[in-house]
Amino acid sequence: MCLAPESQPQSLQSLLRAEYANALVAIEPPTGSTAGRKRPKLWDLDDKHHCPLIGTCLSIDELQRFAKRFHFTARPGDEFALHVEAVAQCRTRSPASEAMQRHLDRKYLLWVDRFGKLKDDKALQTLWHECQQRGEIAGPLWALCTHRNASQTSLQQAYADVHMLSHQVGAGLAADTRRLAHLEKENAELKGGLKRELAALRRQLAAAEAERAERDTLRNDIDTLQKRLQCFESGQVVVEMGQRLMALQTSHDKLLATSGRVWELERNLKDIREDAQRIAVERDAALAERDALEHLLRAMEPATCEITADGDACAACEHALGARCVLYVGGRAALLAQYRQLAERLGITLIHHDGGQEESLSRLPELIRSADAVMCPTDHISHNAYYHVKAHCKRVGKPCLFYRGGGISGFAVAMARIGRGEYSLAGEMG
């Protein structure tokens, strides 16, 4: 139980107190001296005082702790059952009632000390009424009920006050609950309306901000256009455009001249590169011709071989000197005249067959039999002609030289090798 509401009329409270006082006077025995009385304990009080004391002086959390500590049979969530079982424990002296006595004495020690200084019952009633007017109920109620000088009239008055206060608090609580529900509903409606108004204000503010930003942008554009219009009207823009156009024309002319020079330099560079490549090719050809001619001259020099016991030359020299008719198969047709001139300078008769391009391959056996040796550039002859020459030379045992390079230098080197006898009599590549 908590503070009593002020909704109860004062006259009704006074009337109830007077009725309780008259009833007590009729049944209360005469009081004597209380000098030797001890301070009563919780289990010494009348049973009717246990209910308001437990309900008012102990909170629900404290009651649940006592229930858990002393193993109450009531369920922890059932507050009324816990209250009833605690009230039942207070009727007799037990570990639970003793623990609650100690706990309440510690909790309300200041009130017990304050009420303990009073010696008569009238002073106790006066202090109790003062505390009740201020809404201080729990501590003063415990201190009054356990005071050794408290009379039955004072205890009954406190019981009556707390009992009526519980009714008033319950009625006030119900009214407060209804008012609270109404206020919560009204508060929710007001919050919803406020949220809607705030949302509408935010939208209006955002629209106003956007409109203001648009106006600022338009104002800046107008200022810029006005400045440009003033420049156009004053002729300054035309002068600046003429100056820029002249500068661009000058730069364009310079770029054209530079581009022409670059193009001419590139063309000259290209001609120089082509000349250098041609010179390099001619140089390589000249070097190859020189090497070929040197080999050829060395081949034409008299051999220094030893004479046999009969005074004849060696068989290799006789075979080399006897190769005076050579069949040339394939090669480059454009260089045929030069091939023949070089062979004539060496005293060799050159017979040519184009390898089957225009001439028939059926003439190859006859030409091979009529020649002393056969030459074939492998990179300028068909596969069919190559295998015909190779097979027929093997068949008739004709010397044959296969080599790479269809140019003059390659031909000269091959002729020099034939002059030295560097070929196979079985027709294999030399």
pLDDT at 77 exceeding the cut of 70: yes
Taking the CA atoms of 394, 397, 403 and 406 in sequence, report the sign of the dihedral they define.
negative
Which of 26-40, 251-265, 301-315 has the weakest average pLDDT?
A: 301-315
Q: How far apart are alpha carbons 245 and 252 in whole angstroms?
A: 10
Q: What CA–CA distance (Å, rounded) separates 138 from 161?
A: 12
Using a pLDDT cut of 70, give the percent of the chain over it: 78
- CA of 127: how far to CAs of 122, 131, 200, 213, in Å? 9, 6, 59, 73
The 3-class SS string of 263-278 reads HHHHHHHHHHHHHHHH
- Mean pLDDT, to the nearest integer, of 338-343? 87
Percent of the chain with pLDDT over 90: 22
Q: Is the pLDDT of residue 36 over 70?
A: no
Residue 210 pLDDT: 93
pLDDT at 306 over 50: no
- Report, as an integer, the average pLDDT of 68-75: 89
Domains defined along the chain, listed by start: 10-29+36-183 (no CATH), 315-419 (3.40.50.10700)
Sheet holding 373-377, edge to edge: 349-353, 325-329, 373-377, 400-403
Lowest-confidence pick of 58-67, 85-94, 134-143, 227-236: 227-236
Q: Give the mean model confidence (pLDDT) for residues 35-56.
A: 85
Alpha carbons 100 and 176: distance in angstroms, whole number:
32
Please report the pLDDT score of residue 286 as a whole number: 57
Residue-wise pLDDT tens digits, 347-362: 889 999 988 888 888 8
Given a cut of 60, whether residue 256 has pLDDT beyond it is yes
| Tens digit of each residue's pLDDT (9 = 90 or more) over 109-150 | 999 999 988 888 898 889 999 998 888 888 899 988 988 888
Give the span between the Cα atoms of 419 and 345, in whole angstroms.
13
Q: pLDDT tens across 150-169, in order?
A: 888 888 888 888 888 877 67
The confidence score (pLDDT) of residue 203 equals 93
The pLDDT score that the predictor gives to residue 414 is 83
Res. 204: pLDDT tops 90: yes
Q: Decide: 398 and 373 in contact? Cβ < 8 Å.
A: yes
Q: Has residue 183 got a pLDDT over 90? A: no
